[in-house]
Structure 1
């Protein structure tokens, strides 16, 4: 699976504008780290320097966090694995193309 497949367009509760987000559960499954989902959330979101309601917000409907694109980039760097760097490069290419493959789907 590619990173472009897990990017969602969601209404940000703070700004009421639609933005690109990635579900923390989908990112966890894509990265497939050697830690539990709870540890992944605590390390990369709760205890990190990510800003609540700016870089991420909690989605009660799905019991997960919606992560901004910049938060996803930060988490991929923090993971520091071959898989995470591959996904980081893929995401960078997607950003440089103006999210063209995502915009074509909609």
Structure 2
């Protein structure tokens, strides 16, 4: 959650992959089960904690390519990432 801003800030291409809290919670619920409303609350709490921390707050790097996967399948998300990486490396997304 801090790869582009802390771990690899000099990376040639950075992606910030996200989705709405509701979609992320639903995906997690499909994996883990339990109460979906509780999973959503946990996702929101983690986001608030991660965005508000002093060290390495959750945020995209200034030069990151943001990909919102809320409405994308896995295949579509991977294709979008690959297309954007290719375009950035070709100099089309500067």
TM-score when normalising by structure 1 = 0.32
Tell me which protein shows more strand as a share of its residues: 1
Decide which structure has the larger Cα Rg and report it: 2
Bigger relative CO (Cα 8 Å, ≥ 6 apart)? 2
TM-score (norm 2): 0.35
